[in-house]
């Protein structure tokens, strides 16, 4: 499942393709993708920005000529969703698992999603589209703010990082990697960190996420970026999916344990 770096990769690659283009038409081919009875009128609108909102790609559209009201589309890729940019829209009808197609004055954006868990959500304001949690890469997230969010939570750190109502964008891969980089046990209570450990956690989160973005994310099975290519951050993974192999820092064997039905990978020696 794409996490923050994968979604950021897609948004950064799509931005130069989409910004400034005007929508010719939108076709929703899969009824499951409709989030309301009448999809908003998109034709005639111009793309103003493409960014990321938590784990979703967020596209901002202008008002329609002569009408009021801008529009935002948030796309959640989930398991197998892909947003693919095509310079021409000729190929579109032949693509399999095509769930939606947004045609522009030149080119088309295809939403391809074999397992159909991805979602489209439309918003009338940017505030409405904003996630509840704070983005780990946001300048607004200071160590003091993170400490306040952690509060006195008795929840395990790993499970706490996966909640989307405190920090947004982290999933199983990056939660494991961040805790390893911060030398913190995934089983520690989130509210038990001292100020130095909170700073370590925040620093590790930013380091890992920024590095993953530089390498276009991690690909295990399904993730492909907007160009149809795979990310390469899997070469740098320190613990995730490395059970039994040597910790890259101390040489001890990486352990795997199941927390909330999900695998947690960690080094029992350097994450205490
Ligand atoms: Zn270690």
Q: What is the pLDDT along the chain (272 residues), one digit of tens a residue?
A: 899 999 999 999 999 999 999 999 999 999 999 876 667 899 999 999 999 999 999 999 999 988 889 999 999 999 899 999 998 766 555 688 999 999 999 999 999 999 999 999 999 999 999 999 999 999 999 999 999 999 999 999 999 999 999 999 999 999 999 999 999 999 999 999 999 999 999 999 999 999 999 999 988 666 777 777 888 888 899 999 999 999 999 999 999 999 889 999 999 999 98
- Structure token digits, residue 64: 């329609």
Q: Tell me the CA–centroid distance for residue 252 and ligand 1, in Å.
A: 5
Catalytic residue among 21, 45, 52, 55: 55
List the alpha helices (DSSP H) in the chain.
4-18, 126-129, 143-150, 157-162, 172-181, 195-214
- Identify whether 262 is a catalytic site residue: yes
- SS3 assignment for 60-74: EECCCCCCCCCEEEE
Q: Which residues contact 218 (CB under 8 A, 6 or more apart)?
A: 3, 5, 6, 173, 212, 231, 233, 234, 237
* 2 tagged catalytic: yes
Q: Which of 143, 230, 262, 268 is catalytic?
A: 262
Rounded Cα gap, residues 136 and 4, in angstroms? 9
> How far separated are the first and last CA of the chain, in Å rounded?
28
Q: Count CB atoms within 10 A of the CB of residue 124.
A: 12
> Residue 110 and residue 197: Cα distance in Å, rounded?
43
Smallest Cα–Cα separation from 126: which of 61, 44, 76, 39?
A: 61
CA of 158 to the centre of ligand 1 (A): 17
User: How far is the centre of ligand 1, averaged over its atoms, from the C-alpha of 248 (Å)?
Assistant: 7
**Ligand 1 mean position to 219 CA, how many Å?**
24
Whole-number Å distance between alpha carbons of 85 and 13: 9
Q: Check: CB of residue 185 under 8 Å from CB of residue 272.
A: yes
Among this protein's residues, is 64 annotated catalytic? no
What is the spatial distance between Cα 191 and Cα 179, in angstroms, rounded to a whole number? 15
CA of 243 to the centre of ligand 1 (A): 12
3 as an active site residue: the answer is yes
């Amino acid at each position: 499942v794409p996490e923050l770096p994968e979604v950021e990769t897609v948004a950064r690659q799509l931005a130069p393709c989409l910004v400034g283009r005007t929508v010719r038409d939108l076709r929703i081919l899969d009824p499951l993708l409709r989030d309301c009875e009448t999809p908003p009128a998109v034709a005639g609108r111009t793309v103003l920005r493409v960014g990321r909102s938590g784990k979703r790609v967020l596209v901002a559209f202008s008002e329609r000529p002569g009408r009021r009201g801008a529009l935002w589309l948030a796309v959640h890729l989930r398991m197998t969703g892909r947003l693919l940019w095509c310079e021409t829209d000729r190929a579109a009808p032949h693509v399999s698992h095509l769930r939606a197609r947004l045609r522009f004055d030149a080119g088309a954006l295809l939403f391809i999603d074999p397992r159909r868990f991805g979602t489209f959500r439309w918003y009338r304001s940017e505030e409405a589209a904003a996630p509840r949690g704070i983005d780990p890469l946001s300048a607004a997230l200071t160590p003091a703010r993170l400490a306040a969010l952690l509060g006195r939570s008795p929840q395990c750190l790993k499970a706490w990082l996966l909640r989307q109502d405190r920090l947004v964008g982290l999933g199983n891969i990056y939660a494991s990697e961040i805790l390893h980089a911060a030398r913190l046990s995934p089983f520690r209570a989130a509210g038990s960190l001292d100020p130095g450990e909170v700073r370590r956690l925040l620093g590790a989160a930013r380091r890992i996420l920024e590095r993953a973005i530089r390498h276009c994310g991690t690909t295990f099975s399904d993730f492909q970026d907007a160009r149809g290519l795979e990310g390469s951050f899997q070469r740098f993974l320190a613990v995730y999916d490395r059970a039994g192999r040597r910790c890259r820092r101390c040489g001890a064997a990486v352990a795997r344990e199941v927390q909330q039905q999900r695998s947690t990978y960690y080094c029992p020696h350097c994450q205490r």
